[in-house]
Amino acid sequence: MRIVVCIKQVPATNDAVIDPETKRIVREGVQAILNPFDTYAIEEAVRLRARLGGGVEVLAISMGPPRAEAVLREAVALGADRGILLSHRAFGGSDTWATSYVLSQAIRTIGNVDLVICGKQAVDGDTAQVGPGIAAHLNWPQAALVSAVREVSTQHLVVVRMHEDGHDVCELSLPAVLTVVKGINVPRVPSLKGVLAARKSEIPVWTPEMIGADPAKIGLDGSPTRVVRTAPPPPRNKESLRFTGTAEVCAGGLLRELRKRSLL
């Protein structure tokens, strides 16, 4: 059995800046991290491998610039067996549809993939579209916002899918695509041994030709959507209050303030 985890390198949230010209997130010179939601996807894949016993391989794949190799090494340090980077100038400017096409082509190329797991969304774009997009390109069943995998076999999954009014319990036949939410597990912290092993891990770089991608379906030309305007959210009113005195006096002051603002 083979599980593929799709991951993304994103700017550290506090550093995200939009280029006013291109309307794209400025990534150069900004600290880059593994998309936090993807850590849950990696952890779930590693846990499913353990639940299924031997013969399960976990692969992490990512589309991005060469430096995105770092998040693939992180995935290996967290327990993935290996990583593959999809990197080429022609992939640049891909929207969520083109990105999910590229990832689906990579999944086809890997072959014998039974399950694809993504984080529910990337914290830079916040679209939550790539996971479902992969399922659409592959024409596989999908469950988004999965908070638990109740049953797993090499043939099927039973998962809990969150929605606004509660949750659904869904059965999916494999192959399938899942996007997972934060509460599904508690991701492990990489061990030193894992990090050192990951540094030695070979991360192959795949190009459009290597995954048989149609040039008309990738990059800006293959993207049916365009960001035409970007605006920052209105600034939040930040206010700080300092309470002084004994613990009782401070606690009383805080309580009064919270009540005054109808927060209690």
Partner 1 sequence: MKEHIEKRAYHVEILPPKQDSAKLDADLAGFAEKYQRVMASGFCACITDNAMGHLAFQGPEVLEELRLSVPPGQVMIHLNTFHTKESLDEILVTCRRQGIRHLLVISGDGSDRLPKLQPADVGATDVEAVTSVELLRYIHRQYPGDFETGVAFNPYEPPEHEFEKLVRKCAAGATFVITQPVIEKHPVVDQLLATTTLPIVLEAWMSKKLHLLSQAVGYEIPEDTPFDPIATLRMLHQTYPACGMYLSLLGFKTQYDLIRDTWSVPTSKETR
Contact positions vs partner 1 (CB under 8 A): 36, 39, 186-193, 195-196, 199, 246-247
Min CB(199)–partner 1 separation in Å = 8
Task: Give CA separation, 226 vs 32, 101, 176, 180, 201, in Å.
Answer: 24, 17, 29, 27, 37
Min CB(259)–partner 1 separation in Å = 23
What's the CA gap between 46 and 40, in Å, rounded? Answer: 10
Instruction: Please choose, from the candidates 197, 224, 220, 232, the residue with its C-alpha nearest in 3D space to the C-alpha of residue 73.
Output: 197
Min CB(247)–partner 1 separation in Å = 6
Nearer to partner 1, 105 or 185 (CB): 185
Nearer to partner 1, 193 or 236 (CB): 193
Nearer to partner 1, 231 or 247 (CB): 247
Crossing angle of helices 69-77 and 36-52, in 10° steps, is 40
Nearer to partner 1, 169 or 196 (CB): 196
Nearer to partner 1, 189 or 241 (CB): 189
Min CB(39)–partner 1 separation in Å = 8
Residue 201 region by backbone torsions, left for phi larger than 0, else alpha for psi between -120 and 50, else beta: beta
What's the CA gap between 105 and 113, in Å, rounded? Answer: 12
Min CB(79)–partner 1 separation in Å = 12
Residue with structure tokens 């997972």?
A: 180
